[in-house]
Amino acid sequence: MELFTIQNLTFTYPEQVKPALRNISMELKQGDFAVLAGPSACGKSTLLRQLKTVLAPHGRKEGTILFNGIPLDEVNTRTQVAKIGFVLQDPDSQIVTDKVWHELAFGLESLGEDNKTIRGRVAEMASFFGIQNWFHMEVAQLSGGQKQLLNLASIMVLQPDILILDEPTSQLDPIAATDFLQILGRINRELSITILICEHRLEDVIPMANRLLILDQGELIADKDPAGTFEILRARNHSMLHSMPTPMRIWGSLNWNTPCPLTVSEGRSQLTEWAKENKLTSVPEQGVKIPTVEPCIILDEIWFRYEKETPDILKGVSVKAYPGELLCILGGNGTGKSTALAVLSGVRKPYRGKMICRAKRVSLLPQNPQMLLVKKNVREELMAAFPGKKLQDVADQIGEMVSLCRLEGLLDRHPYDLSGGEQQRTALAKVLLQKPDVLLLDEPTKGVDNDFKLIFARILKELTTQGVCIIMVSHDVEFCASYADRCGLFFDGSIVSIDAPQPFFAGKSFYTTAANRMARHLLPNAVTAEDVILSCGGETFSIELPQRPEKIDITPPEEHKPRKLPLWRKILGIFSGCAALGLLLYTAVMLDLSQLYKESGLIKSKIWVYVLMFALLAVFAASISRQAPVREQKLMQGKLSKRTKVAILLSLLAIPLTIAIGLTIDGGRSYMMISFAILLESMFPFFLIFEGRKPQARELVILSVMSALAIGGRAVFFALPSFKPVAAMVILTGVAFGGEAGFMVGSMTMLCSNILFGQGPWTPWQMFAMGLIGLLAGILFRKGLLYRDRFSLSVFGGLAVFVIYGGIMNPASVLMYQPNPNWQMILSAYITGVPVDVIHALATVLFLWFLSETMLEKLDRVKVKYGLIEK
Amino acid sequence: MKNESFSGFHPAVNLAFFAAVLGMTMFIMQPIYLSISLFSSCAYLLYLRGGRGMLRQIGYLLPILLLVAIINPLFNHEGMTILWYLPNDNPVTLEAIIYGLAASVMMAASIIWFNCCNEVFTSDKIIYLFGRVIPAMSLLISMTLRFVPRFKNFLQSVIRTQRAMRQPENVKEKLQQALSAFSATVSWAMEQSIISADSMKSRGYGIAGRTAYSIYRFEKRDGIITVILAILCLGALVPYFTGSMRWDYYPALTGNLVEPVQIFAYLCYSGVCLIPLIINLMEDHKWNSLRSKI
């Protein structure tokens, strides 16, 4: 029975001429295990996403997709959700809730199943996957493999007919990846669920698959069983041949007349048979190179642990690394490889042992290249390596690097629009611009396909010829065997053996390459597929890589510059700013706390100072703020939504009513009760309206991401109390997504941060104060009173924190704990609160000054991606 | 965390308990009630966190308590018993001092109750209870809590990576690095959010009629405790209905503290406040006797 029937599918992205998918026709039957492969950017993800309506990208689609004989667009969402399961690449970002059990139930909750059904299905699935032991854990405690297993399980509870997986193992280590694929095989065999998987770890999936589909430049060029597809590729001499499993490649090169071997053991027995009739030439032994130069880095019995109480991570690591070599360190997870890199890079200091470093500069390329990507395009990313320099002065260096790392044509792209391999090369270029003599690489081939590995290997080769010492930590046995100068095995906190690749892998029985496992009984020194092929007298495939370009022009296209401020505004700004600052200092110095308790003495004499200060600040803000370009302004501004208006109106109605009622009860002295009621009443309309309109997934995600960033951002500045980015993030949310979103993020941030750091009677007050700041930012921006530039945002931020947050939280501290408050108490709370408020305001100003413009650009990008606004 | 028996009860029971004690602590300013509340909250926190955790909390609270206690007599000059005069000729009264003390006891008790609440009332309980009434917001909380540790990890590894490339030499560079790390985290988080939204849509978020699953079941013992709690609360509030709850600090300390009906109410109130501790001690005792039989 056909589950999916695709006929003549052609798909073109918006504003593109060339279709991403061209004339694709295929069928998927019940129980199929189909593997989709192809060079990167060939349209694999695009094709998979066409098979579920909610995930299908925008664009022009021709042709038909039938699901169980019905056009997919006519199959209702509920059926699609349950019957078509989709697992994405990154295990982490697919998980949306904080508890394992909640994540498992998420899909069933959406479908509106009752508690009993959900309990039954979740229990069943947790048992099948062996999740029961971590059922109550928090998601953050799981390993990568467990997370991806959880994603799979949370889709399996919906009882799908087909599972579609888009590179599900690319972020996992080899053992977790193999486990994951084994479970997929089990699901296919035991439950007869159809599987369509896009995967580059072909060695593991091909033995399980009954179909291998090859996509190239949007066309389906092969759709047969693995052996049949291999034949097609061989006939075309296609570059994908290089990505096929080792036994198949050897079989293909040597033209054996046997059925195509899919596994190492099949290959091994065929090789044994073949060797009976043919003669093998032995693989020439690789001499162990004895380096003649001085080592540039020496580790001598290094011991390291993170805390005094925790166990040792490094236990006597000794290694020497020489200039001009590629030293690969292999080993399982959690053996301390990454920690060793951290010690080498100088981030961590060993507590025992000696480290001699003769290199001038040691640089580390982190496992996730995204950690280094901050700017809005690749050119600026590279420029960031030369702070304070002009483009013309460093053009030669950057041009050289662009050519070395093959970044030509990518300079104007946003780093996050690049593929994994391209991102990695960008990050590498950024690191290399620092001219390191020792380059540390942390699993650079993880999640990268074969073509990229070849280019990457070539870049590394050029670097080692230039005399750079490269130390690379990796799981990738095949890559290390092909390209390393020396390999070391890391185990239990130290390096067990270290040798040239050939003796290193030839001496091992398990931890070695597929070619070695297949041929070791006949050719003990054969380590790569090429070794085996050459010994058998065959010819290896060669792949043409594009030549390295010579001269690259890196000048950017013209950009518009903001208009300059007129002189009178500058003068006014300087004057009012200085005056406000002076007044602030005056109040700080002249403040006499002993005057506080004199009857109304302070109010009369000093209050004008504060009023004048705020007035001056307002003038300052108005005079230096610049209008954003008209186009943007139009895009973002508009009328307040009806909902926001209703919410504000409701709050305004409820507050006086409460005060009136409160005054009649208990002689108007239950301040605490009244203030608390007012708080809740002013927040409830927003919350209820938010609930009532049933927010969409993307809105929820945006709000929670903004809140989480505001809370998590504290981690950077933990050393400074009151120095937190919360208010800044809330203001930016208000400006970018509107007042209502600002209010929600403000109040949710305070609620959640108190869940983490401790609730108290202050929670509702903080929620209200922060929410109000976000709401105001949104309203003022919509009304055109607040501009999208850092001057006006910083001034607004400082004022908002000082006046609104301080203005609410200071009296709140009195209202919370003084059952019988009076004005003087509140005033004294204000004045004693000033230092804290000033620090908080200063932090907000700093944040907005340095980050508001880049941050708003980033938020706009997401809005375009979500389709919230047109580009 | 150790196996705390009260948190094993249904979240609604936990909520009812904390709402009751916090409400009564914050709204009944009568000295005996306040002392009962302070004493039981301290005892419970001692059970939950042990001696050291308890001491740390008190060390942090003490200065604030003193401040709260001092502020009242400085600004409030009501009361009959004048003790001395301030430099500005305002009187300091005994009543105001006592009132300030009472206010600081109230504050201490409510903060300590909140501390206990944080131990018992974990995020999943909050999400569960809200999930019925405000499903979208409770999901929002859950998602935020999911993202916080993730972003924090990323942020910290970015900072480590930057340090590996360049050790900051002064405060300015340190600040610049921190800001650029934050900026990198924002880009990354935004990009990740798109995948999260896809994953939610793919699993049917947005279809009408979403339900909220929970792993909690309301058992018989939850019902029993709820009834006991309700009866004890009523008992504790009896003086309020008979009018003998009245206690005034100003102009002089007036009111009765030891009427029979009040003593009955004190017992009930102690019962309310000590419920979790009693449950825990009973459970501990049960386990000890079970173990001794083996």
pLDDT in tens, B123-174: 888 888 887 778 888 889 888 988 998 898 898 888 888 887 777 778 778 8
Contact A109 B163 (CB under 8 A): no
Report pLDDT for A597. Answer: 47
Measure the CA–CA gap between B244 and A352, rounded to whole angstroms.
72
Task: Compute the distance between CA of residue A870 and CA of residue A176 in angstroms, rounded to an integer.
Answer: 41
Is the pLDDT at A10 greater than 60, yes or no?
Answer: yes
Which are the contacts of A439, defined by CB distance < 8 A and separation ≥ 6?
A: A362, A363, A365, A431, A432, A463, A468, A469, A470, A471
Q: Return the residue of B nearest to A384 by Cα.
A: B180
Range from A210-224, A528-542, A642-656 that averages highest in pLDDT = A210-224
Model confidence pLDDT, tens digit, residues A373-387: 888 888 888 888 887
pLDDT score for B192: 87
pLDDT at A498 exceeding the cut of 80: yes
CB proximity A686 to B under 8 Å: no
Contacts of A86 in chain B (CB under 8 A): 202
Would you say residue A436 has pLDDT above 50?
A: yes
* Partner B, chain A 316-335, Cβ-Cβ below 8 Å: none
Same fold for the domain at A297-535 and the one at A626-638+695-866?
no
pLDDT at residue A707 is higher than 90: yes
User: Residue A30 CB: number of other CB atoms within 10 A?
Assistant: 13
Q: What is the CATH number of domain A30-38+78-240?
A: 3.40.50.300
The domain ranges of chain B are 6-125+214-293, 146-202
Chain A residues whose CB is inside 8 A of the B167 CB are 346
A734 within 8 A of A778, measured Cβ to Cβ: yes
Q: Rounded mean pLDDT of B208-212?
A: 83
Buried b / exposed e across A265-295, counting CB within 10 Å, b at 16+?
ebbbebbeebbeeeebeebeeeeeeeeeeeb
Strand, helix or coil for residue A470: strand
pLDDT mean across residues, chain A: 83
Q: Tens digits of per-residue pLDDT, A572-606?
A: 878 887 887 787 777 666 555 545 445 444 455 56
Which percentage of chain A shows pLDDT scores above 90? 22
- CB-defined contacts A:B, below 8 A: 315
What tokens appear for A572 in the block?
């006014």
| Mutation for testing the A interface, residue in B142, B196, B210 having most A CBs under 10 Å | B196
Q: In CATH terms, is domain A297-535 a member of 3.20.20.100? A: no
Whether the per-residue pLDDT at A548 is higher than 50: the answer is: yes
Q: What is the pLDDT of residue B271?
A: 93
Q: Using CB atoms, pick whichever of A431, A434, A687 lies closest to residue B137.
A: A687
User: Region B50-72: what's the mean pLDDT?
Assistant: 83
Three-class HEC string of A628-688: CCHHHHHHHCCCCCHHHHHHHHHHHHHHHHHHHHHHHHHHHCCHHHHHHHHHHHHHHHHHH
Nearest-angstrom CA–CA distance, A119 and B211: 13
Do B88 and A342 lie within an 8 Å CB cutoff? no
User: Predicted confidence band at A870 (pLDDT cuts at 50, 70, 90)?
Assistant: very low
Between positions 115 and 134 of A, the ones with CB within 8 A of B are 115, 118-119, 122
Whether A61 contacts A9, CB under 8 Å: yes
Which comes out higher in pLDDT, residue A624 or A38? A38
Lowest-pLDDT range of A404-408, A548-552, A758-762, B243-247? A548-552
Helices (H) and strands (E) in chain A, counts: 32, 19
Per-residue confidence at A636, pLDDT binned at 50, 70, 90? Answer: very low
pLDDT tier, A868 (very low <50, low <70, confident <90, very high otherwise): low
- Asked if A853 reaches chain B (Cβ–Cβ under 8 Å), the answer is no
Residue A724: pLDDT over 90:
no
- For the segment A238-291, what is each residue's pLDDT rounded down to a tens digit? 888 888 898 998 888 888 888 889 889 999 999 888 888 888 888 777 766 677
Domain coordinates in residue numbering, chain A: 30-38+78-240, 297-535, 560-605+616-624, 626-638+695-866
Query: Which two three-digit tokens encode residue A15?
Result: 């504003």
Identify the closest residue of chain A to B188 by CA–CA distance. A370
pLDDT of residue B233: 93
Helix (H, G, I), strand (E, B) or coil at A840: helix
Question: What's the gap in Å between the CA of A371 and the closest CA on chain B?
Answer: 5
Query: pTM of the prediction?
Result: 0.84
Question: Per residue in A828-847, pLDDT tens?
Answer: 777 777 878 888 888 888 88
Interface predicted TM-score of the whole assembly (ipTM), two decimals? 0.85
Contact A825 B195 (CB under 8 A): no
Cα–Cα distance between A854 and A380 in angstroms, integer?
12
As to burial, measured by CB atoms within 10 angstroms (0-12 exposed, 13-18 middle, 19+ buried), residue A159 is middle
Residue with tokens 């916090």: B22
pLDDT, average across residues A18-34: 92
How does DSSP classify residue A599?
T
Looking at CA atoms only, how far is residue A803 from chain B in angstroms? 23
Cβ neighbours of residue A130 closer than 8 Å, sequence gap 6 or more: none
Label residue A11 left, alpha or beta by phi (over 0 means left) and psi (-120 to 50 means alpha): beta
| Tens-place pLDDT, residues A399-419 | 888 888 888 888 888 888 888
Q: Regarding predicted confidence, which is higher, A442 or B132?
A: A442
Does residue B289 have a pLDDT over 80? yes
In A738-767, the residues whose Cβ lies within 8 Å of chain B are 744, 748-749, 751-752, 755-756, 758-761
Sheet with A314-321: strands ordered across: A314-321, A297-304, A352-357
- Rounded CA-CA distance A220/A449 in Å is 19
Q: Is A472 helix (H, G, I), strand (E, B) or coil?
A: strand
A2-12 sheet: strands from edge to edge: A21-29, A2-12, A60-67, A70-71
Scan residues 766-825 of A and list those with Cβ closer than 8 Å to B: 816-820, 822, 824-825
The winner for highest mean pLDDT among A36-45, A862-871, B265-274 is: B265-274
Q: Give the per-residue pLDDT at A789.
A: 79
Arithmetic mean of pLDDT, A325-352 = 86
**What does the buried/exposed string (b/e) look like for B253-286 if buried means 16 or more CB atoms within 10 Å of the residue's CB?**
beeeeeeeebeebbebbbbbbbbbbebbeeeeee
Q: Quick check: B234 pLDDT over 50?
A: yes
Q: What's the rounded Cα separation, in Å, for the pair B233 and A791? A: 56
Beta pairing partners, A214: A37, A222
Least confident of A183-197, A498-512, B208-222, B239-253: B239-253
Stretch among A55-69, A328-342, A565-579, A797-811 having the lowest mean pLDDT:
A565-579
Mean pLDDT of B221-231: 94
Percentage, residues of chain A above pLDDT 70 = 89
In terms of pLDDT, which residue wins out, A182 or A447? A182
B-proximal residues of A, 720-739, CB under 8 Å: 725
Q: Do A112 and B199 touch (CB under 8 A)?
A: no
Nearest CA to A704 out of B205, B196, B121 is that of: B196
- The shortest C-alpha distance from A73 to chain B (Å) reads 15
Q: What is the average pLDDT across A31-51? A: 89
Which pair of tokens denotes residue A149?
A: 């297993």
- Residues of chain B contacting residue A108, judged by C-beta atoms under 8 Å apart: 211, 213
pLDDT of residue A398: 85
Q: Which residues contact A494 (CB under 8 A, 6 or more apart)?
A: A314, A315, A316, A317, A318
Q: Span A626-638+695-866: which CATH code?
A: 1.10.1760.20
The Cα–Cα gap between B89 and A736 comes to 55
The pLDDT assigned to A196 comes to 95
